[in-house]
Chains A and B, each alone.
Chain A
Amino acid sequence: MSRIEEELRAAFERHEDQTPATGPVRDKINIAWVRAKRRRLVLRTTGAAAAVVLAGAALPVAFQQWHQGAQQAPAVNVLSSIGPSQPAVAGPLDVLVIGSENRLTAASGDPHADTVVMIHISADRSRAYAVGLPRAESSLRNTLARGGPERTTSMVSAFTGVEFAATATVDYRAFRAITGAVNGIEVCRSKQCEQLDADTVTPVLRTDPERVLQALATRVITDGTVTDPARIAKLVRAGGNGVTMDGDTQTLLGAAATLADAEIVAVSSPKDPEDLYAAVRSDGLADWVLANPDHVLR
């Protein structure tokens, strides 16, 4: 062994006593771990937030109530820490929700955009509209497999003229899980109401996605889930893995936090949807809805 090698060994050995004691480091690791877990929870909450947005923009309401709840009960401070810290966003907000049969992350199988719904939150934050897009558009269905959510979003933007702040892609398993987590939903079609659970929601989701979103949102708001952190957490776990968000999530959450209350209106596309798209672009859906009561799903 050369002299330099010996000196190296000796130098390493000499400095062994500089090694920090394990006890304090162990404590620091535990503290850092708790922080890391909290960060992860916030990320998952964002996923769940997306799940609820897709459930007809109930999220804004939910966030507001979490925020109010947090001032009384410190137990929900993790959830509330997202909302109020975001700057308020002025103007209307559009989010595209893509429901897909297959998991996007799966290597095999072509994910199809089976359900495409625009969520439009009005500038005054009094209403959120779920606008179903005609799913018969086979070219739209295939965009998801060919170019992912970005391609679907740009295609919808191209034919509607609407710019989306964010896109939420949700697989049907997440829809099923969320439906199960809220103990089923009631979907009404032409005055006939139907109870749906996790196993029966999928076919209706294919034919009437905007009604399912509306029913989910209504359920989440009326049964008090939005005010109960434990049930929110359950919803988070249910939707978490099947939801992906693209785009400006921060803006979305920021806008959500400014909402005090919102009515959820589900709208179906008429045969000639140009007026409807124009109303979305100009934030004039309130007038459009008054003029086209037949296309409002109640």
Chain B
Amino acid sequence: MRTLSTVLLAAAASFALTGCGKDEGTVTDGAASGADTTVTVTSTDDACTLSATSATPGSVAFTVTNEGGQVTEFYLYRGEDIVGEVEDIGPGLTRTLTVDDLAAGTYTSACKPGMSGDGIRADFTVG
């Protein structure tokens, strides 16, 4: 029993250590506290509306609300790379993607209602 709890504690600790990272692209839910810029995203089954299409360099919180009938996802790409994503945003839910230290440049935002295809994309400028 003692050995078991030790190992499970160690596993828990490693989970926690990996978890509390400092790097970019943070998935949080609820209030987007502390980000330099907050962008509100409304995803429906055929539209992806962002409250702003640009931000200053720094941390940006995308608060994504799904007002459609399908499960949606929100991505921020730079070229082909995923800078951050939040998946499984069920209808009626709000989930937040916080990206820390977003550098100046051109990015692509995308909502993926129905979880397939390239998504509804738009340019997102940081600078």
> Bound pair: A and B?
no
Residues of B at the A interface (CB closer than 8 Å) are none
